[in-house]
A and B are shown apart, each in its own frame.
Chain A
Amino acid sequence: MKRISLASRLALLFAGCTAVVSLLAGVLFNHASEAHFIELDQQLLDGKLIALRSTLQGADTPERFALRETTLREELNRQPDLALRITAGDQRWFDGAPGITLPQAPGLHSVQNAGTDYRVYNVPLVPGNADSPQLTLMLDITHHQHFLQRMQHLIWLTVGLSALATALLGAWAARSGLRPLRRMSEVASGVSAHSLTQRLPQEQMPVELAELAQSFNAMLGRLDDAFQRLSAFSADIAHELRTPLSNLLTQTQVILTQPRALEDYREALHSNLEELQWMAQLVNDMLYLAKADHGLLAPKRETLVLANEVDALLEFFAPLAEDVQVRLIREGGANTSGDRSMLRRAISNLLDNALRFTPPGGDVSVRIVEGMHGVTLSVENTGEGIPEALLPRLFDRFYRADPARHEGSSEHAGLGLAITQSIVRAHGGRIFCESGAGWTRFVMELPRGY
C-alpha cells in the first residue's frame, strides 16, 4: 500500500469530518423544515375547515347539501389552492378533484399526482361524529416541495464545498503544523562528524515534540561525547607514543653519527630497550582495552574467596608498601565468582594507584563487604583528596591527576584505572571513586549473580 503523507492524511480526515458534520446539520434542517411546513399546512387547513363547516352546517343529507352547494362553490372559487371532496358512505356528493385516488383514513396525508403535491385532510363534517359525511380537503403544496428540493440541493452543495475547503485548509494547516518536524529532520540530516554540536531548539518545539526533541538532543550529546572521547583517545595515543619515539630516533641517530666505545652502544641499546618496553606495554594495554570495548573480555567464573585473593595481592605489594612506609590493611571477606587473574589485575591497579598517592606513614585499606545484591570491595587510602570535579574523569584513558607525572617514560601510561573499570564492567559490576578531606576511596561493586 502506498504510504500517505501525514499532511494529506490530516487534510483528508478534516474533510471527512466536515462533510459528516455538515451533512448531519443539513439532514436535521431538512427534517425541521418539513415538520414546520406540515404544521403550517395543518393550521391553514384547520382555518379553512372552520369556514367550510360553518358553510355546510346542517347539510347532513344530499338534499340539504344541494341547497348549500352554490355558496360552497363561491367560497371554493375564492381559494384556488384548495379543492374539496365530500363523501357520505359510498356516495360522492361533491368532487373538486375528480379522478384522483385519495387515502380514506382520517387525518393528514401527503399525495402526489401529475407533478403536483397535495396535503390531504380527511375529517367528518360534524366534529366527533364519524358517521357524518366525510370532508376531504386538498391543499396544493407544490411551492413547499420546491423549496425543500432546492434546500436539499443546497445542502449537498454545502457538504461538497465545505469538505473541499477544509481539505485544502487542512492541508495548509497540517503543513504549517508539521513544520517543527521538518526542522527536526533538517537538523538530523545535517548531522555529521563535523557538526555534532548542532541541537534542536527545544523551547520552540510544540509540547508533543519537546520530548522527542529532548531525546534527539540527548542522543546527539552522547554521540558527541563518545566522538570527542574517541578522537581524544587517538590524539592521546599519538601523543603518548611521540615522546618515546622521538627519544629512540634521537638517541639512535646521535649514537650512529660517529664511532664509539662498545660500552656506549650497549648503553644506547639498553636505553632504547626501556623505551620499547614501555611502548610494548602501552600497546598491550590498549589492545586489552580494545578487547574490552568489543565485549571480548570473557571472564571465567571461578569461585573466589576474596579475602585470600586480597591477602595474596597485599603480600605481593608488601615490599613496595614497606618501601614507601605505608600500612596495608584488609578488613572483611566474602566469596564471589569471577576471573581470578582479571580481578587480581583490577585490584592490583587500585592498590598501585593508592600507594602512589599515599604519603609516608599513611594507610591503604581494602574492605570487603557482602551486601544484598553482591560484594563491595573498596580500596581506601589516606592522603590528599581528589577534587570532586575530577572524580568522573579518573577512569578516562590516559587521564592523570598530575599532568607532570608522565614525562619520565618508565612511569605507567595512565591506563590502569581504565583497565580496572573494563574488568569490573566485564564482570557486570561498576566502579566509582569517592573522596573527602584526607581520604580517597575506590569502590568496586560486583553483582552476586555473575
Chain B
Amino acid sequence: MKLLIVEDQPKTGHYLRQGLAEAGFNTELVADGTTGQHLALTGDYDLLILDVMLPGRDGWQILQAVRNAGLDMPVLFLTARDAVEDRVHGLELGADDYLVKPFAFSELLARVRSLLRRGSSPPQETSLQLADLRMDLIRRRVERDGQRIDLTAKEFSLLELLLRRQGEVLPKSLIASQVWDMNFDSDTNIIEVAIRRLRLKVDDNFPNKLIHTVRGMGYVLEERFS
C-alpha cells in the first residue's frame, strides 16, 4: 500500500511518516503543495493525506487537480481549522475524510485503514477466528477452546469488530462509532467498561489473553506470546 503525505510542518510530517511506515505502509512525505500535486498526479498512490494550509498549492487545489485528472483514490484531510464551511467545501470537492488537529495518531491510523478497506468489498466470511477464539457469524455464536461464550448483542458486535480488525489498535472513538453509532467526542469511560465486561467473558477464564489495552491509544485483539 502506497501513501502520500503532504504536510508542511516538519515534525508532524516526520512522525506521521514514521508511524504509517511502521504500520506497514509505503509512505512518502512532501512539504510543499506544488511537489505534492505533481507526485499525487503521477505517483500511483493508494491514499493521499493532505494538509489544508500548504505553501505553493493548498490542499483543496491538490484535491481538485487529482479529481479532475480522474483519479479516485481516497483523500484524507488534516486541518487545524474546524470551520463548517471548510468541511462542506472539502466534501464537495470529493474529500473522503477529515481530521481536525489535534488528533490522535491511533485515530488517523484507524481511519486510513478504513478508507483503504472501503474500496475492496469485504469477503463474505461465515466465521472469524483468532487462536482458539471462533465466531460463527451465521449462527451468531462465539466459542473459545470449544466452550460456548454467551454475549449480548453489543458485546457480539464489539468482538466482531475486534476480530475483523485484529492486530489493529482501535481507538475508543472508532469503537463507539462502529459498535454504538455514537459519532461524537465523548470523555466517558463507557468503552473501557464495555471492554472490561467483554474481557470477563472472553479472556478471564483462559491463560492466553487476546484483548489488550494499548494505553492512551485504544484496544487491540491479538495473540501475544510472552
Given known pairs A284-B185, A348-B182, the reply for A273 and B215 (CB within 8 Å) is yes
Give chain B's interface residue range (CB within 8 Å of chain A).
20 to 34
Given known pairs A315-B180, A352-B188, A412-B187, the reply for A298 and B100 (CB within 8 Å) is no
Give the chain A neighbours of B194 by CB distance below 8 A.
Answer: 319
Distance in angstroms from B218 CB to nearest chain A CB is 11
Residues of B within 8 A of A (CB): 82-84, 100, 102-104, 154, 176, 180-190, 193-194, 197, 215-217
> In the complex the two chains form, what is the Cα distance from A311 to B54 in whole Å?
44
> In the complex the two chains form, what is the Cα distance from A413 to B188 in whole Å?
11
Q: Is the CB of A280 within 8 A of B102?
A: yes
Say yes or no: is A312 at the interface (Cβ < 8 Å to chain B): yes
Q: A318-B154, A319-B193, A416-B187 are in contact. List 9 more A-B contacts (CB 8 A).
A: A274-B216, A291-B82, A296-B84, A298-B84, A315-B180, A342-B184, A344-B183, A344-B184, A348-B186
- Which residues, 397 to 414 on A, are CB-close (under 8 Å) to B? 412-413
Give chain A's interface residue range (CB within 8 Å of chain B).
20 to 34
Given known pairs A291-B82, A341-B183, the reply for A316 and B215 (CB within 8 Å) is no
Which residue on A lies nearest to B197, using beta carbons?
Answer: A319
Q: Is the CB of B216 within 8 A of A315?
A: no
> In the complex the two chains form, what is the Cα distance from A322 to B154 in whole Å?
14
Contact of B193 among A291, A312, A315, A323 (CB under 8 A): A323
The A/B interface has a contact count, at CB < 8 Å, of 73
Give the chain A neighbours of B184 by CB distance below 8 A.
Answer: 341-342, 344-345, 348
Distance in angstroms from B189 CB to nearest chain A CB is 7
Q: Is the CB of B190 within 8 A of A317?
A: yes
Which residue on B lies nearest to A270, using beta carbons?
Answer: B215
Give the chain A neighbours of B189 by CB distance below 8 A.
Answer: 320
- Which residues, 273 to 310 on A, are CB-close (under 8 Å) to B? 273-274, 276-277, 280-281, 283-285, 287-288, 291, 296, 298
Q: Is the CB of A320 within 8 A of B188?
A: yes
Which residue on A lies nearest to B81, using beta carbons?
Answer: A287
> In the complex the two chains form, what is the Cα distance from A274 to B192 in whole Å?
14
Q: Is the CB of A285 within 8 A of B185?
A: yes
Give the chain B neighbours of A284 by CB distance below 8 A.
Answer: 100, 102, 185
Contact of A287 among B82, B84, B193 (CB under 8 A): B82
Q: Is the CB of A281 within 8 A of B82?
A: no
> In the complex the two chains form, what is the Cα distance from A35 to B216 in whole Å?
112
Determine the main DSSP class of B at the interface with A.
loop
Give the chain A neighbours of B102 by CB distance below 8 A.
Answer: 280, 283-284
> In the complex the two chains form, what is the Cα distance from A276 to B102 in whole Å?
10
Given known pairs A280-B102, A320-B188, the reply for A315 and B154 (CB within 8 Å) is yes
Contact of B185 among A274, A281, A315 (CB under 8 A): A281
Distance in angstroms from A75 CB to nearest chain B CB is 116
Given known pairs A273-B217, A348-B186, the reply for A316 and B176 (CB within 8 Å) is yes
List 25 contacting pairs A-B, 8 Å CB cutoff, sorted by A.
A270-B216, A273-B216, A274-B215, A274-B216, A283-B102, A287-B100, A288-B185, A291-B83, A296-B83, A298-B84, A312-B180, A313-B182, A316-B180, A316-B182, A317-B188, A319-B194, A320-B193, A323-B193, A323-B197, A348-B182, A348-B184, A352-B186, A352-B187, A352-B188, A412-B187
Give the chain A neighbours of B82 by CB distance below 8 A.
Answer: 287, 291
> In the complex the two chains form, what is the Cα distance from A57 to B161 in whole Å?
148
Distance in angstroms from B215 CB to nearest chain A CB is 4
Given known pairs A296-B83, A341-B183, the reply for A316 and B190 (CB within 8 Å) is yes
Q: Is the CB of A345 within 8 A of B180?
A: no
> In the complex the two chains form, what is the Cα distance from A343 to B96 in whole Å?
24
Distance in angstroms from A273 CB to nearest chain B CB is 3
> In the complex the two chains form, what is the Cα distance from A360 to B165 in whole Å?
36
Closest 8 CB pairs of A and B: A273-B216, A345-B184, A280-B102, A270-B215, A316-B180, A412-B187, A319-B194, A319-B193
Give the chain B neighbours of A412 by CB distance below 8 A.
Answer: 187-188
> In the complex the two chains form, what is the Cα distance from A98 to B197 in whole Å?
142
> In the complex the two chains form, what is the Cα distance from A285 to B183 in whole Å?
15
Which residue on B lies nearest to A281, using beta carbons?
Answer: B187
> In the complex the two chains form, what is the Cα distance from A406 to B189 in whole Å?
15
- Which residues, 322 to 374 on A, are CB-close (under 8 Å) to B? 322-323, 341-342, 344-345, 348, 352
Give the chain A neighbours of B217 by CB distance below 8 A.
Answer: 273
> In the complex the two chains form, what is the Cα distance from A364 to B170 in whole Å?
30
Give the chain B neighbours of A276 by CB distance below 8 A.
Answer: 216
> In the complex the two chains form, what is the Cα distance from A413 to B197 in whole Å?
26
> In the complex the two chains form, what is the Cα distance from A26 to B104 in whole Å?
95
Give the chain B neighbours of A342 by CB distance below 8 A.
Answer: 184
Distance in angstroms from B91 CB to nearest chain A CB is 13
Give the chain A neighbours of B215 by CB distance below 8 A.
Answer: 270, 273-274
Q: Is the CB of B104 within 8 A of A280?
A: yes
> In the complex the two chains form, what is the Cα distance from A316 to B185 in whole Å?
14
> In the complex the two chains form, what is the Cα distance from A413 to B100 in whole Å?
20
Distance in angstroms from B163 CB to nearest chain A CB is 19
Distance in angstroms from B74 CB to nearest chain A CB is 22
Give the chain B neighbours of A323 by CB distance below 8 A.
Answer: 193, 197
Give the chain A neighbours of B83 by CB distance below 8 A.
Answer: 291, 296
> In the complex the two chains form, what is the Cα distance from A281 to B193 in whole Å?
20
> In the complex the two chains form, what is the Cα distance from A270 to B197 in whole Å?
23
Q: Is the CB of B190 within 8 A of A320?
A: yes
> In the complex the two chains form, what is the Cα distance from A318 to B194 in whole Å?
9
Q: Is the CB of A312 within 8 A of B181?
A: yes
> In the complex the two chains form, what is the Cα distance from A274 to B216 in whole Å?
5
Contact of A348 among B100, B181, B188 (CB under 8 A): B188
